[in-house]
Amino acid sequence: MKVQDKYYRTVWMEDGVVKLINQPLLPDKFEIYSSKDYQQTAQAIKTMIVRGAGAIGAAAGYALAQAFFADEDRKKAAEVIKNTRPTAQNLFYAVERVLKANDKEEALKIAIQIADEDAEACKKIGEFGESLIEHGAKILTHCNAGWLAFVDWGTALSPIYRAIRKGKEVFVYVNETRPRLQGARLTAWELSQEKVPHAIIADNAAGYYMKKQEINFVITGADRIALNGDTANKIGTYTKSVLAKENNIPFYIAAPTSTIDFHCPSGEHIPIEERDEKEVLEVRGVRLSPQESRAKNPAFDVTPHEYIKGIITEKGIFTPDQIKDLATD
């Protein structure tokens, strides 16, 4: 990612300190958060200082490496890290890989490999996905599945960035993504940095623009993919998939194979994180609802495989029913 002409990754490690782009401060302020131990890094994941499937996976790997270097109980540290966010498969994937390390040097090496692999996978997703984007495409995306959600490039936005670099004209409709507004705050900020033409729309306006034929392609990320091709992503994704199917618009998921849970048979088995009701009742600390009102706040929903035209991975583009075959690759 380039910010003010300087290259950044979303998460990296320097001298035992995990460095994170502090995402809740965006777009108002760009700041690097420094986490000195695995407890702080785990808390940064939990409070969404770092968020997005690949980014929290890399952060989780670095966090467990921190536990190795501090000579902490690695199994206890692994449980603390895994308990931060229950839905994103990349987090569990990273923890289990680093947990197999024999010593601190190997733990750090594996954590760095996970981050590098994430960045390279997202670059390849862009290369494969760009072929689906026609010149003049009008694309809808939901939540943030760009650089900020991964170590670099992102998933849903990676094909868009690639298309722009190849000279294609693209316009992006950015769902605001209530309640945390990751689309309005983060995706719009990324697209602004890249000078990609875009407009933020209210989440419930997507159907309006689809019906008017002003959207002809939908692409989102995923936080966990089941073996049957069902995918969990930010709450509201399922709604957009239904609207896309009703309006004959192709709906694609973009995600690295590390997001596939090869032990999860279907979306019914994906755990859905329930977050603090204040995220719904308040906006940046300002209460919008009656004091007597309560809220429900599921962070994710599941899109059934029959609504998905294809899943773009670093290994190519697959139909949902081909996902299970990747388990043997």
Provide φ and ψ at 109, rounded to 5°.
-60, -45
Strands 217-220 and 224-225: unpaired
Active site residues: 223
Strand ranges for the chain from DSSP E: 2-3, 6-7, 11-14, 17-21, 32-35, 137-141, 170-175, 198-201, 217-220, 224-225, 231-234, 251-254, 282-283, 286-287, 300-303, 310-313, 316-318
By the 8 A CB rule, do 254 and 129 touch? yes
77 within 8 A of 94, measured Cβ to Cβ? no
Query: Which is it for the CA torsion 114, 225, 9, 135, positive or negative?
Result: positive
Strand 170-175, strand 137-141: pairing: parallel
Rounded CA-CA distance 23/48 in Å is 7
